[in-house]
Amino acid sequence: MSHEFDSTVLREYDMRGIIGQTLGADDARAIGRTFGSMLREAGGSKVAVGYDGRVSSPMLDHALVEGLTASGCDVVRIGMGPTPMLYFAEASMPDVDAGIMITGSHNPANYNGFKMVFQGKPFFGQDIQELGRRSAAGEWTDGSGSVETQVMLDAYIDRILESLDGIDREYLSGLKVAWDAGNGSAGPALEKMVAQLPGEHHLLYTEIDGNFPNHHPDPTVEENLDDLKAIVAEKNLDFGIAFDGDGDRIGAIDGEGRVIWGDQLLMIYAEDLLSRDKGATVIADVKASRALFDHVAKHGGKPVMWNTGHSLIKSKMKETGAPLAGEMSGHVFFADTYYGYDDALYAGLRLLAASARLGKSVTQLRSEMPNMLNTPEMRFQVDESRKFAAIDEVKQRLADSPDDVNSTDGVRVTNDDGWWLLRASNTQDVLVARAESDTQEGLDRLMAQIDDQLEKSGLERGPQAGH
């Protein structure tokens, strides 16, 4: 027996596909069989499994568990919930060696996929390619593992609420906050969490609905925050928090309805952290604003720019011992008093805690940030065979540039006008560009430099590609 996956399913950070086209029960069964075999070879035997609110998730859950037990692994089913609840189960249950979350994250309703943790580390990149190779070769162990069910929700909520230990309850009692679950799998956890918070709280779309009837659950797209902005304005609230489809990415707005982007949230978290942990390392991805790196340094921290990708950031945190990291996409990782994974519900509570500890409203914290002019993340289609080659060509042409050229992940060029970035996506056949300046003229010059480099590689900044 063996199984070949559709080539589009084996991605850099997870396995993902379109139900009924590139992903189905046979794929889930083979993932369980192969992942379980790899875990047994590494000396592990027990896997926690959870799933999100998509219509296809229970079917994939059933097949995945079949595959895991057929490899000889025991399974702890934690049921439906946000991805961080699965991460929590894997990190906190003493005899669990790995975890698999069935989730399509922020993708359209007809997608689904698998995020995996293997012996406390993210399972990505070469691990996923190896899983595909072994599955095609039928390199599977045999066995008959057991299955048990464990409810994790209460333990998970209790754990994340610890982030408010020692915080002035009177301050929290005065807060007025809106929360938008976007009909994603964080809804019931959010209801349970907010029920234990002091203050005034308004909840939107906490009912899990895999068809996402109100808006798409991706808080990095500003139009998805319209309902949150409306309720914050109508009820005169202090700020609002939104989650993606599986609860591992956060979005936020302040009391004036201004978006607080991923790197700006990280500025707030860093200021709070560095007030207690001087000299700490803070990691952000190459798409983050210069203002963030300057802010970390100004508050006595050590800023590190690293590759985009939640698995890559988590690995770098383990390597450097950094207590805090984040991405533009809204993944934020806390390892100071938490486990180092991305958890948007926990991040939401840490925003309340930061405001209280710093003695400033979220709106004030947002207002204190420098007004940088930056482009949104621009994504444009390029042939898969050209995307990395084109970036290499840009690097070679800039080898003798007087500008500061950082090639950590693609090319990030800093000069007197600001900075621009060009990188190849690890998950799609697109190039990603971004630029930031203090002035519109500077931004125009930076964009012209991007266009010049693309033209020299026979490409152009053509139609925008979706996520």
Q: What percent of the chain has pLDDT over 70?
A: 99
Give the active site residue among 45, 56, 57, 105.
105
Q: Is the pLDDT confidence value at 452 over 70?
A: yes
pLDDT at 163: 97
Contact 430, 466 (CB under 8 A): no
Give the tens place of pLDDT for each residue, 344-357: 999 999 999 999 99
pLDDT digits (tens, 9 = 90+) for 53-85: 999 999 999 999 999 999 999 999 999 999 999
The pLDDT assigned to 380 comes to 87
Q: Examine the pLDDT at 466 and tell me if it is beyond 50.
A: no
Average pLDDT over residues 101-125: 93
pLDDT at 461 over 90: no
The predicted pLDDT at position 349 comes to 98
Instruction: State mean pLDDT over 5-17.
Output: 92
pLDDT attached to residue 462: 67
The arithmetic mean of pLDDT across residues 256-281, rounded, is: 97
What pLDDT does residue 428 have? 80
Domains and CATH numbers, the chain: 15-151 (3.40.120.10), 156-367 (3.40.120.10), 373-456 (3.30.310.50)
Average pLDDT over all residues of the chain: 95
User: Residue 467: its pLDDT value, please?
Assistant: 43
Q: What is the mean pLDDT of residues 131-147?
A: 97
Please tell me the distance from the alpha carbon of residue 300 to that of residue 217, in angstroms, as a whole number.
36
Give me the mean pLDDT over the 7-23 stretch: 93
Q: Are 288 and 261 in contact (CB under 8 A)?
A: no
Q: Which residue has the tokens 């994939």?
A: 60
Helices (H), 275-432: 290-298, 310-320, 344-358, 362-367, 384-397
Residue linked to tokens 């035997």: 45
- Categorize the per-residue pLDDT at 377 as very low, low, confident or very high, splitting at 50, 70 and 90: confident
Give the pLDDT score at 311. Answer: 87
What pLDDT is stored for residue 460 in this prediction?
Answer: 83
57 noted as active-site residue: no
The proportion of the chain whose per-residue pLDDT surpasses 90, expressed as a percent, equals 90
- 8 Å CB contact between 386 and 392: no
Mean pLDDT of 440-445: 97
